[in-house]
Each structure stands twice: as structure tokens, then as C-alpha cells.
Structure 1
Amino acid sequence: MLFNKSVKTLVKATLVGVAIAAFTSSVSAETLRGASMFDDKHTFTKTMVKFGELVEKHYDGDVEFDLRLNSELGVEKDYVTFLNQGVAIDYTILAPSNMARFAPSIPLMDMPFLFRDLEHWNTALGSDVMAPLEKELSDKADIVIVGYAGGGTRNLLSKNPVGNLEELKGHKMRVMGAPIQAQIFDALGAAPSAIAYNEVYNAIQTGVIAGFENEAASIQNLKFYEVAPNVTLTGHTITVRPIVFSGKKFRKLPAKLQEAIMQAGKEAGAFGRELESREDAIKLKEMSDAKQIIVSEFEGREKLLDMVKPVQDKFAESIEATELLKAIRSK
């Protein structure tokens, strides 16, 4: 009887120990939630999946990823608020201009005609030239940049052809919310206005605007070609899309996990830049071959570079970033 009682006690103690160990493991595992406005085929989503894989590779601990797609948790404007408040999501990929309300200088990354070409863009993002903007975003928005994705070339997308400065004059188009976006296109003679991204399709359909500007992946993914099939190759922006993390969440994580996130962010950013820059031309061709879009060059594009430079300089001066703009241009 004593032997049986001892065995029962031992078994019971063992089971309790296993349960406690399982509970402790469950509690200690970090769950990081991400958000994407797009499906699993979009480069942003693929880059965030890669980010998760790289964190797991670099972190010797338990971490799980919960990535929500197709705007389940809202759009980029919502993501910025969530990250700033430390609620709902922990990481995503954002257009810098959507963070302007917290960090006024950050849209410099997104300024049209900032980069001469893809080589200039890649050189700049591979350096530490953006460090002052990273600090401002962290200080003012409590959002941490862990890497740089992007690489899509943004062009004009319109209901009717817009192929030269005369046709661009008075063109009602949507731009992102940062003032520099509107200032640039206003200087080119267009009539820009900032409206919510999720309202663009209907706004073109109903005539509120006649077009907007975007990169190929988003045009294809969200089927914008259905309402605006004319793509004019202005190549005004090579996108910079930071992989960002909530500062409030980041500080709560173990130091080793923080290190893994920073390392993974850098590597995932390089992965995303190569992926999007490579796929951009492919997606344009796919849509063109499917007769979903009509692609044309912008007549006299070189004039645009001279027309916008005073606006760029004035903006940089207003945010005390003249030296930063010079540094980016010199890369």
C-alpha cells in the first residue's frame, strides 16, 4: 500500500511538473502581431513573412507570429496609431508619409524625385544616411525602424491619359497625406488632394478625383486598373517602405529578441527591396499583356526634375533637414 501510494504521488507530481512546464513555456513565448493591407502575394506581405522567419532564425527562444492580411486590422493610417499607442499590432510596413502627423520630417524619405535612379536609392538605404529621421520617428512617434523595404517605382495612374505637362495641368489626383506630396505635384501644375487610401477606388469611380499615383504591386493587388487603366511612367518615386515596430512593445521584449528583430529587420529589408524592385516591371508587363492597363511615357520628364527642386529645398529647410537632403543627393 505504501509503495502504491508513493508511486501515485510520484506520478501525480510528475504530471503537475509537466503541466507547469507547459504552462511556463506557453507564458514565456512571445507573440508578435503584424498587419498587411494586402494578400499573401503582395511583396509587403512576403517581406513580413520573411521577417518572421529571420527573427526565429536569429532568436534562441520561443516566439510566434500572428500576421493579419487583407486590411483585417485597418489601413496604414490606423497602423500608425496602433503602433504609437502600443495596441493591436506590433509591426508592419509603412509609407513614411503616413507617419507625418507624428514625425514631420519623416516624409523626406518619401519625397517625389528624391532618388536619381535605382542604384542611388539602394546605395542610400544601404547606408546610415537616414539615421536622423529614424531618431525623430522614435522620439516623436515611439515607432522603431528595424529595416527598409520598398523598391516599387511609383507612376501616375489615371482614368484618362495624362502624358505631358499640359495634360497634367489641373489634373485632380490623390496624393498621400504628407504636405510635401501635395506641394510637389502642385508645383507641376496638378490639383492634388489627400484622401484616404481605402477611398481611392470609389473616388475615381465617382469622379471626385481623376487619378492618383502608385506602384505596380498595389495597382495589381487592389485592381485599381479597373477604374484607372492609364499608367504614365513618371518614375517620380522609388519607394522607401520602412519595416516598423511599436516602441512600447519593443522595450518590453527580452534583449536577445530585440537584437534578433533588428538583425532580421535589416535582412528582411534587403530581401524586400530586391523582391519589389525585381517584380515591379514584371507586374506592369503582366497587366499590360492582359490589357488591363495602357502604359505610356511622360513627355519631357527631365523638366520635372528641375521644376520640383526648389520645392524639395524649401521643404528640407522648413524641417531643418537641408544637410540631410544634401547627404542623400550626394550618395
Structure 2
Amino acid sequence: MKRQVVLIAVGLLIAAVALAGCGGQGPTGQGGNAPAGQGQATGSVVIKYAVVGPDEHPYTIMATKFKELVEAKTNGQVQVTIFPNAQLGSEREMAEGVRMGTIQMTTVTTDGTLPAWVPELQIFSLPYLFRDRDHAYKVMDGDIGKELGDKLLAQGLRSLGFCELGWRHFTNNVRPILKPEDAQGLKIRVQEAKVWFGLVKALGATPTPIPFGELYTALQQRTVDGEENPVATIRSMKFYEVQKYLTLDGHTYSPGSVLINSKFYDGLSPDIQKAIQDSATEAILYQRQVIAQKETEDLQFLKDKGMEVAEPDRNAFVEVTKNVPEEVADMVPLELVDRVRNTK
């Protein structure tokens, strides 16, 4: 009997030691040793992908296509959870979350919050710089885009490429803007960057920085008279409910930066890294095509909702804003501006 008791005790001791050796814990984040975002029990890679807009917003379209592609390419080994509608914060907070590693991925407006870390990204905010979409794509997908991506990487943000937000236009709730002087005295919401202040001031309006997630309320409460965004954003964010006039001046082309935390990415296996990059590249091409095709539909939708749409004398706007590049030359070198202009 004593011998049986001893054997049982020894068995329990061995089991306890084995359990202790396993850590006695579950997946990573609860005592395991796998890389951040990677489950120890299943080997799955979990990605939190945060975006600022609703389901139909350009960035959510990008995130949704990426999720579909990367989960298929990895047979479900990579699992993506999308957090739309600024659930995880403003664009600045989401970008900072990716830098810190609390969020794995985000897509944010390239020339919005990111110039806080890479001032040269304000190249996309310079007025009337890009000739057309093809010109913009060649810049983003070529050497200039790679150089800008390298600068982001130095800040802990790995660029997976640039998707589409689109051509930005002014809206307001006071009067049509057909010529630069029509903008004088208006309070226009802008992103918090020197170049946006320079653009709006050149038109005689007052630049007012407001977080994107608070913009609808600011327009509704008349905190500002107007804003500027692509037609897809104006539709998806329902700005047509609180704005009457749309001016199709196309002052800038605005891309979205698809970003992943660099340490998280570096901790993944090469095949998973390739699947993530390939999926991002494919999703970007898909998303660009979708947004470009929707532009005519979105514009008609805004008209049907009662917005008055005007096509101004663009040359007059070009003339009054021609000195903006010199005003921000300390952040966006004029040599870079010339390289963009000369990209064929």
C-alpha cells in the first residue's frame, strides 16, 4: 500500500514539473514566448488592422481586400481583424500605435499625420503638383516612393505601399468657390501640417486643424465653414449632409500609406513576410482601381443629395498658390519637388 502511495506521489510530481516546464500558460501574451501577435498554441499570426472610416471608406476597402488575400495565401495562418470607424483612435493615434507595436497595421493619409515623423511626405500636399493619376502612381511606386518608405522604416513604420484616397476638393456651406477670392474669410478644416496652412492661407481662408473623426460634428455645428477631401470620402463620411457646395479643383492627390510595425514584421518567417507584402501589393492595385471607377458614381450621388458642384478656373488657383513649395522648402526640398515634376 505504501509502495502505491509513493508511486502516485512520484507521478504527480513528474506531471507538475512537466506543466511548469510548459509555463502553465496559454497563447502568447499570457506567458508564452512566441513573437508578439503570434499564437503559440496554433502558430497563427494575428494582425489588428485599424482604419478611420466606415465599411465603404477607401481605407476600409483596402483593409478588407488585404484580409481576404493574406488569409487565403497563408491558408488561415495569418488572421486579420479590421477595426474601422476610428475604433482604435485618430489617424495620429493609430500611426503611433503601429510605431509602438500595440497595433500591427493601419492605413492613414500619407500627408496627414505621417509628416510629423517624415516631413518630406508633405510632397503630396503641395498644390497642383501631380498631372494625373498615372503621374502619381509612377512617383509612389518608383524610386521616390521607396526612398520615402525607407524614411518611414527608420521611424518603426514599414511601408507596404501606397493605396488611393484620391484627388482632394474643397467643400463649404457658405457659397460656391469658383475663383480663389471666393474662399476669402472662410474657415477651412485642414490636416495639421505647415503645407496645408500655406495652401489655405494663399486662398485667403483661415486654416483650422480638426481631427478627422471630429470633422462631421465640426461642420454640423459650424465650427468650420468647410473642408477638403476626395469625393469618395465626402460620400462615405456623409459630409454632404452638412455641406452644400463642392468645388472640383483637385488641388492635391492624396495617397494612403499602408503600414505595419517593423519589429512585428521582422519577427515573422520569410514566407509569411512575402505573403503579407504580396497581399498588400495586390490589394493596393485592386483598391486603386475600385476608387477610381467609383469617382463618377460618387460624384453623381453627391449631386443627387443636393450638393452644388462647380468646376472652377483651376489656373487661377495654381497662380495664387505657386509660392507654397518655397514656404515649406525646409521640410520638402525643392530638389524633391523637381524630381516629382519631372517624373514621366
TM-score w.r.t. the length of structure 2 is 0.82
Question: In the alignment, which residue of structure 2 is the partner of 1:95?
Answer: 109
CA apart distance, 1:330: 1.0
Q: Distance in 2 between matches of 1:78 and 1:320?
A: 24
Residue 187 of structure 2 corresponds to residue 165 of structure 1:
no
Residue 181 of structure 2 corresponds to residue 146 of structure 1:
no
* 1:61 to 1:227, Cα distance in 2 relative to 1, 3 A: closer
Residue 275 of structure 2 corresponds to residue 263 of structure 1:
no
Alignment coverage as a number of residue pairs = 305
Q: Distance in 1 between matches of 2:332 and 2:119?
A: 11
Report the structure number with the largest CA radius of gyration: 2
8 A contact 2:122–2:332 mirrored in 1: no
Q: Give the AA of the match of 1:220.
A: R
Question: In the alignment, which residue of structure 2 is the partner of 1:20?
Answer: none
Q: Distance in 2 between matches of 1:208 and 1:122?
A: 35
Q: Which moved more, 1:47-56 or 1:73-82?
A: 47-56
- Whichever structure has more helix as a proportion of its residues is 1
Question: In the alignment, which residue of structure 1 is the partner of 2:337?
Answer: 325
Residue 145 of structure 2 corresponds to residue 133 of structure 1:
no
CA apart distance, 1:266: 1.8
Q: Give the AA of the match of 2:194.
A: P
8 A contact 2:265–2:273 mirrored in 1: yes
Q: Percent identity?
A: 27
Q: Distance in 1 between matches of 2:311 and 2:246?
A: 9
8 A contact 1:106–1:137 mirrored in 2: no
1:318 aligned counterpart, secondary structure:
coil
Question: In the alignment, which residue of structure 1 is the partner of 2:296?
Answer: 281
Q: Give the AA of the match of 2:240.
A: Y
Q: Distance in 1 between matches of 2:285 and 2:153?
A: 21
8 A contact 1:143–1:247 mirrored in 2: yes
Structure 2 residues without counterparts, runs of 5 or longer? 1-26, 28-38
RMSD between aligned alpha carbons?
A: 2.1
Q: Give the AA of the match of 1:330.
A: N
CA apart distance, 1:123: 2.6
1:72 aligned counterpart, secondary structure:
coil
Q: Distance in 2 between matches of 1:142 and 1:25?
A: 25
Q: Give the AA of the match of 2:189.
A: R
Q: Give the AA of the match of 2:265.
A: F
Out of 175, 196, 214, the position equivalent to 1:199 is 214
Q: Distance in 2 between matches of 1:241 and 1:251?
A: 22
Q: Give the AA of the match of 2:251.
A: H
1:66 aligned counterpart, secondary structure:
strand
Residue 183 of structure 2 corresponds to residue 183 of structure 1:
no
Question: In the alignment, which residue of structure 1 is the partner of 2:325?
Answer: 312
Q: Distance in 1 between matches of 2:236 and 2:224?
A: 20
8 A contact 2:124–2:253 mirrored in 1: no
Q: 5 Å matches for 1:1-331?
A: 26-59=41-74, 62-87=77-102, 89-96=103-110, 97-139=112-154, 141-161=155-175, 162-291=177-306, 293-298=307-312, 300-315=313-328, 317-319=329-331, 321-331=333-343
Structure 1 residues without counterparts, runs of 5 or longer? 1-22
* 1:255 to 1:122, Cα distance in 2 relative to 1, 3 A: same
1:52 aligned counterpart, secondary structure:
helix
Q: Distance in 2 between matches of 1:216 and 1:176?
A: 17
TM-score w.r.t. the length of structure 1 is 0.85
Map Cα deviations across residues 294-318 of structure 1 (whole Å, 9 max, x no partner): 11122x2112223323211442x31
CA apart distance, 1:146: 0.2
Q: Distance in 2 between matches of 1:320 and 1:152?
A: 21
CA apart distance, 1:122: 2.6
8 A contact 1:148–1:265 mirrored in 2: no
